[in-house]
Amino acid sequence: MTDRFWNESDSKIFIDQGRIFTPSRDELRDAFLDLIPAELDETFQVVELAPGAGWLSAAILNHFPSASILALDGSEDMLAETARALEPFPGRWETRTFQLQNPDWRAALPTGLRAIVSSLAIHHLKGTAKRDLFADLHDRLAPGGALLIADLVEPASVPALRHMARAWDDAVERQSIELSGSPAAWEFFRDDHWNIYTWPDLEMDFPSPLVDQIDWLRQTGYTRIDIPWARAGHTLIAAYRDWQQRRRQAAGSRQQAAGSRQQAAGSRQQAAGSNDYASSVELFQPRAPPPGPCLKSRTRYFAANHVSGSSCQSGPGIGRIDLLRAPGSGPFQAPPGAQLQGRV
């Protein structure tokens, strides 16, 4: 069987109907925005793979006013549509063509990216080609950076397949009326066989089981992997590059001993004594903290710096603090309303 690739006729249909064909796309957009590890006012760069009509890139630039985007797609029509969607954000975006399955474009990506995002495209790559992609993208992320992939996944059981097929049809039928006031988009979706759980396209669509993708992400160095959102076979995977990597590199010879937990504990104490970073933790604050100083100068702990450089986490979201611990001090306690992510 020969592989078939996405063509401009597919692009035209998806430009017109993508919002109706994607279950709860506004909800998916908001999930992406929640998962980008950045403060609203930070300056950082994101790459979007296969932006299509550009709705996700536009949402990111709108939400983070100092962010910039590099958007790559294989379709000229899609890139023209992306450019139209990004017109309100002059100077903050660039588009490039690429072929997802040819790895050559990956070496030309910028490094130090805060996030790499993609929606409904990676399933055009076969099984372990996804693993190779995850590995190459890992190298392009800054420590703490996110790989956020929304995509169709291969169900692991017949009942799951049945649910995904039925739930996707139901969503498109409902959204056709809600978003266009007519069943025409739903009827086209049904009659043109867009539901791959009912009509698999074995030449173009290669969704992989979710558990395989999680394995590949772990094998290629990602930590803190979640599935924060899923609807009708459409699944958002969030995987982060380890924060500690930068600290380990920066700490040089001191951190070479980090192989054993005992040695690492020793070096943390040394670091505290020399007024250097000792260890870092991540905090999740579901709600804005109470007014006043936060995460600062707590008893027996000398300092805490938010990752963005500000002195505290001022709103809900994920932040990181670097701890300067006094030798012999007890475990770090999260401030009221915040939850620790990971171990100190």
Ligand X SMILES: C[S@@+](CC[C@H](N)C(=O)[O-])C[C@H]1O[C@@H](n2cnc3c(N)ncnc32)[C@H](O)[C@@H]1O
Residue numbers at the binding site for ligand X (CB under 6 A): 5-6, 11, 14, 18, 50-53, 73-75, 78, 98-101, 119-121, 124
Query: Which residue's CB is nearer to ligand X, number 56 or number 294?
Result: 56
- Min dist. Cβ of residue 185 to ligand X (A): 14
Please identify, using beta-carbon distances, which residue of 78 and 109 lies nearer to ligand X: 78
Nearest to 258 by CA among 273, 243, 279: 279
What size, in residues, is the chain?
Answer: 344
Helix (H) / strand (E) element for 211: namely helix 210-219
| Choice between 23 and 51, CB closer to ligand X | 51
- Cβ closest to ligand X, residue 15 vs residue 338: 15
Residue 123 CB, shortest distance to ligand X, in Å, is 9
Residue 249 CB, nearest approach to ligand X (Å):
33
Nearest Cα neighbor of 147 from 212, 225, 83 is 225
* Helix 184-191 with 8-21: angle, nearest 10 deg: 130
- Contacting residues for 329 by C-beta, under 8 A, at least 6 apart: 300, 301
Which residues have CB under 8 Å from 88's CB, separation 6+?
58, 62
| Closest to ligand X by CB, 123 or 254 | 123
For ligand X, give the closer residue by CB, 53 or 171: 53
The distance of closest approach from Cβ of residue 207 to ligand X in the complex, given in angstroms and rounded to an integer, is: 12
SS3 state of residue 321? strand
> Would you say 18 and 53 are in contact if contact means Cβ atoms under 8 Å apart?
yes
Residues 6+ apart with CB under 8 A from 113: 44, 45, 46, 47, 140, 141, 142, 145
**E-strand spans in the chain?**
45-49, 68-73, 93-97, 113-119, 141-152, 222-231, 234-241, 279-285, 317-323, 339-341
Nearer to ligand X, 120 or 272 (CB): 120
**What's the closest the beta carbon of residue 180 comes to ligand X, in angstroms?**
16
Residue 53's nearest CA partner among 18, 82, 32, 75 is 82
Shortest CB 24 distance to ligand X, Å: 12
Q: How far is the CB of 232 from ligand X (least distance, A)?
A: 14
Kindly state the smallest distance separating residue 236's Cβ from ligand X, in Å: 11
Answer whether 51's CB lies under 8 Å from 120's CB.
Answer: no
Task: Scan for tokens 């993208």, then name that residue.
Answer: 137
CB of 32 to ligand X, least distance (A): 10
Q: How many CA atoms lie within 13 A of 62 on its CB side?
A: 14
Question: Is there a contact between 238 and 35 (Cβ–Cβ < 8 Å)?
Answer: yes
Our CB check for ligand X shows the closer of 50 and 324 to be 50
Q: Which is nearer to ligand X, 6 or 332 (CB)?
A: 6
